[in-house]
Amino acid sequence: MNKKVEIQDLGLKDFKDTWDYQEVLFKGILDTKIRNRREELSLETPNYFLFVEHPHVYTLGKSGDLDNLLVSEEKLKEIDATFYKINRGGDITYHGPGQIVGYPILDLDNFFTDIHKYLRFLEEMVILTLAEYGLKAERSTGETGVWLDVGTPFARKICAMGVRASRWVTMHGFALNVNANLGYFDHMIPCGIKGKAVTSLNVELGKAEVSLEEVKSKLLKHFTALFEAELIEQVIS
C-alpha cells in the first residue's frame, strides 16, 4: 500500500484543461491496476492531490438537471463564464477565482475501500480547517458538502463536493469558497437545492481577503492526519 500523495498546485487553470489532466492521471492509475491483475504483478500505484483555481465556470454532474443553470448561453458569455457537463456525481456547481478547488486522485486500495468514508473524510478535512478560523461547520443530512448553521433558516453552503470513482480510483473532489465572488451563484440553483444560501470564508470572517495558501496548508494538514498519508510536494507553475 502506497500512502504517498503527490501534491500539485496548478494555480489558475482552465477547467477543461484541468479535467483532461485529471483524466490522464486517473487513467494511469487504472491502467497500472488492470495490468497488476492481468499479469499478476504488484506494481505500486501513485496518488495525487491537485489544487487549482478556475476561471468562472459552471459544471453539471451526470445526474444533474440542466434547469438548475439559470442563464442562457449568451448570458454566460456576458459574464465571462463557461459551462460543462461532466462525469462526476452531484448536480450543478460553480468554480471561480478565490475558490480553492481540490482534486484528490487516489487509489483507495492504498487507504480504504469505502466511498462513503472517503466523502466523509473530505468533509471532515474541511470542517476541521474551518474550525481553525472559529467557524462551526457541519454536514447536512442528505446533502454532500459542508455547511454553516445547519437546521436553521440561515443554513448556507461553504464547500461543494462531487466525485467519480472506478476500481477504487477517485477523481474530481471539492470546492471551498474562500474569497469567492458570490454573485456568480445567483445564476444557478446551487447543487440543485432550492432555498439554500451560499457563503465564503472571507464573508464569514468579515475580511476582504483570506490567504489561500494558508487555507491550503491547513487542508493538507488535516488530509494527512485523516488519510494517514505522506505528502510529496510538487509545485507546478
Report domain extents, the chain: 4-235
Task: Tell me the Cα Rg of the chain.
Answer: 18
**Which is the catalytic residue, given 119, 126, 191, 220?**
191
Q: Three-state DSSP class for 42?
A: coil
Q: Is the domain covering 4-235 a CATH 3.40.50.720 domain?
A: no
Active site residue 159: no
What's the pLDDT score for residue 55?
Answer: 97
* Alpha-carbon dihedral angle through residues 31, 1, 173, 117, given to the nearest 10 degrees: 130
Element containing residue 53 per DSSP (H, E): strand 48-53
d(CA 46, CA 85): 27
The predicted structure's pLDDT at residue 237: 46
Output DSSP code: residue 209. Answer: -
Q: Is 68 left (phi over 0), alpha (psi -120 to 50) or beta?
A: alpha
Strands of the sheet with 92-95, listed across from one edge: 82-85, 57-60, 92-95
- CA 58, 119, 101, 200 dihedral sign is positive
In this structure, how many other beta carbons lie within 10 angstroms of the beta carbon of residue 192? 18
- Report pLDDT for 32: 97
Per-residue confidence (pLDDT) for residue 189, from 0 to 100: 79
Q: What is the pLDDT of residue 194?
A: 59
Closest alpha carbon to 45 in 227, 166, 164, 169 = 169
DSSP string for 80-113? T-EEEE-SSSSSEEEE-TTEEEEEEE-BGGGT-S
Task: Label each residue of 133-182 as H, E or C.
Answer: CCCCEEEECCEEEEEECCCCCCCEEEEEEEEEEECCEEEEEEEEECCCCH
Per-residue pLDDT of the chain (237 residues; tens, 9 = 90+): 899 999 999 999 999 999 999 999 999 999 999 999 999 999 999 999 999 999 999 998 887 888 889 988 899 999 999 999 888 877 888 999 999 999 999 999 999 999 999 999 999 999 999 999 999 999 998 888 999 999 999 999 999 998 999 999 999 999 999 999 999 999 987 655 556 799 999 999 999 999 999 999 999 999 999 999 999 987 554
